[in-house]
Chains A and B, each alone.
Chain A
Amino acid sequence: MSKQKKKITDIRSINLMALFAALTAIGAFIRIPLPYVPITLQTIFVLLAGVLLGKRRAALSQLIYLVIGLSGVPIFTEGGGPGYIFKPSFGYLLAFVVAAYFTGLLTENRPINYRNIFLASTTGVLITYIIGVPYLYLILTKVSGVELGFLDTLKAGMIPFLPGDLLKILIVTIITPRVYTPLKKYL
């Protein structure tokens, strides 16, 4: 297949994007117990979408995940529905779209090796915080009307997740080179 700007809605891409939307959805339900904050596999699938599908298809797949959840199918960690926009944690979900895009951007047309994957997934995870934490702050202060310092938000919305996210970055880094070769023919 040519690498130029091809249509992203050919049959194969449609199915791959649907697949990653579904994977992100089930990722919310596979929990790995970790001390204090159990982690879910969601971020792993978001990052892998970026690496495997490329920036545009990856972002679209996560967008589909969001739209399905917002239209009421309970595939977010705590349900679904348009009301979810006003949940403080929705920013992290919104960030999936952008994180997948940038992870894809940083790995497209580059060799698949530990270093590149590690850098791209770290960027992806950082983006979830860059969007997620201000959103958390915004909803808590503006919608719930709570008086809260930005530093406290950072303490609640970022620090507890760091070990888990480091683990996820490691998983993605270890796993991508292994799945890339057998899967290449499907991409």
Chain B
Amino acid sequence: MHVEEKLTAETFPASPEKATLEGKNKFLGFWFFLGGETVLFASLFATFLSLRDRTAGGPSSDELFKMSIVFIATMLLLTSSLTSVYAMYHMKNFDFKKMQLWLGITVLLGAAFLGLEIYEFNEYVHEGLKYSTSAFASSFYTLVGTHGAHVAFGLLWILTLMIRNAKRGLDLYNAPKFYVASLYWHFIDVVWVFIFTVVYLMGMVG
């Protein structure tokens, strides 16, 4: 199939993201990119785990972390993953407007998550945990902050895609782009699950 073909709901393929060679390449390449991102986060997790008890007299994780705010943030991000699935569902059904709507909801939830994270960081700084306070502080802010930067980048990415394709509608040229962006969003979500477990739960319990 060709990228420039004008399609209708009937002719739209079941896997529009993989219908063209460009789409297939993008799909596979992006998985390898996510592989690289996994290594990146694994290195940050390893760094955090090796430094998390080194508080150098500054605040430690069990003194700082509060379940309520982290829990709300987690729910927001998990929900946003679900809404991005809805968006992809509508994309496959060639329903551009509903896809845009659900992507919009995803962006809002992601932005709320990001807002909470900024609020949380601000709280910690006021409680005496600056970036340079201790090895724990540095590794905590870097790991969680890198995730936050990924969220911010994902928001910017999905927004540009929505604006750029608002008039164009769905076709085989932009379907892989939307699909890959949603993959990225899921990846961010999975990383957060690990952060929630390794950083917050383990930080509060042990």
Q: A and B: real partners?
A: no
A-to-B contact residues, CB < 8 Å: none
B-to-A contact residues, CB < 8 Å: none
